[in-house]
Amino acid sequence: MKWLVLVLAFCLTSCHFPSNIAMEGSGGRNTYNIEVQKTNAEEMLLNLVRLRYFDSPFFLEVSSVTNQFTMRNLAVASIKLPGFDKINPMSLGGETMWTNQPTIQYSPLQGKEFANQLMQPLDINTIQQVIYSGWEIARVFSLTVKNFQEFPNIPREGLDPDELVKHKKFHQLIKLMTELQLKGDLQIGIGQSKPEETNKPNLQFAFPADNKISEEMAGLLSTEKSVNGKYVLNVVVGFDEKGNIGLLPRSLLSCMHYLSKGIIIPQKDIDDKKVSYSSVVEHRTEDIERIFKELLIVCSSEKKPKHPYVSIKYRDFWFYIEDDDLHSKKTFMLLLELYNLQSGRGPEKGPILTLPLGVG
């Protein structure tokens, strides 16, 4: 009878679902975490490629992930028990089965509010946040800032020579800022202009005046030394009361448009005129790699890449970021962070698409 007691105890106690299967198995938390993160990156890359082909971007938000685990024990004839013979046979066994039923809900991000979040200029608080979180100023400003005072950030071929000089000075300026940032000598704050002036937010910079980097930076910005031995610069967002340009941030959609120019289009689509160009040389691979080598380069191929950082298939071609391209990986990660900070689902949601994924 001891065998019978043991089997019955098994059937009664094993109704509790093992936590290591629920949390760590193929249907566990980390599995969904990895897959959602992976598809978020793929969706962003997909939208960059869409923009390069002049297709509309579209976002789906994973609004919820639920998973129901079911475990069932069955008693079946399988193990012969002592004390029973052929005349009075008796055997008893057990079988355990478990299933999981995941359900994922997607919410389309659309409508006026979401469009405004994509198209309105990035908030300077957002720009300051990402800088203070550890991002170097050169990468942040190269992506998010269209103009810094008189210096434009529009790296295109065919610029007027004077504009090209100003553009080069923009990158010279943010390089100097990054050097001060890495030394811990650059402070960035947000202030408010006086009501009698512009009453606009402004980005504040303070840096010591005792080194060559500071002197060169102050010379570019025509900044005067303050009384406490520091250079202090207040840059208004937009235009001041005299019409002078301050800081002009890009919108999130503008950042995406800008980065989409770093996509290397397959030659077949170029020949078929599926993509147009603002200049004769912009589509050449070597020009894309030269202009965007420190921001983002997206490669293309007819075959699926073996070990990409992120990849998607679109219009019969694979588009991907190389896993050893650190500049592109960093910029892509920064874009995802800006997207998370700037956009999101508004109070009025679109229809929810619920997908049961089947039994695992």
Count of beta carbons in the 10 Å neighbourhood of residue 262: 20
Would you mind telling me the total number of residues written for the chain in this entry?
360
Mean pLDDT of the chain: 78
pTM above 0.85, yes or no: no
Lowest mean pLDDT among 16-25, 151-160, 337-346: 16-25
Given a cut of 90, whether residue 255 has pLDDT beyond it is: yes
φ, ψ for residue 282 (rounded to 5)? -60, -30
pLDDT in the model for residue 18: 57
Q: For residue 11, give the nearest of 113, 93, 133, 106 by alpha carbon.
A: 93
User: What is the DSSP secondary structure assignment for residue 345, as one 8-state letter?
Assistant: -
Angstrom distances, CA of residue 227 to CA of 15, 231, 325, 340: 75, 9, 45, 40
Taking residue 54's Cβ as centre, other Cβ atoms within 10 Å add up to 10
74-124 pLDDT tens trace: 555 555 555 555 555 555 555 666 666 777 788 887 878 888 888 999 998
Residue 354 has pLDDT above 50, yes or no: no
pLDDT per residue as tens digits for the range 191-236: 876 655 556 788 888 899 888 998 899 888 887 767 678 888 888 8
Q: Count, in order, helices (H) and strands (E) of the chain.
A: 12, 12
Give residue 209's pLDDT: 86
pLDDT tens-digit series, residues 271-295: 888 887 654 344 466 666 667 778 8
Pairing mode of beta strands 230-236, 247-249: unpaired
Q: Which long-range contacts (CB under 8 A, 24 or more apart) does 110-115 make?
A: 110/58, 110/350, 111/346, 111/348, 111/350, 113/346, 113/347, 113/348, 114/59, 114/343, 114/345, 114/346
Q: What is the pLDDT of residue 202?
A: 85
Give the single-character DSSP code of 224.
Answer: P
pLDDT at 322: 96
- Which position has the higher pLDDT, 42 or 162? 42
- For residue 179, pLDDT over 70 is answered with yes
List the structure tokens of 293. 């080598």
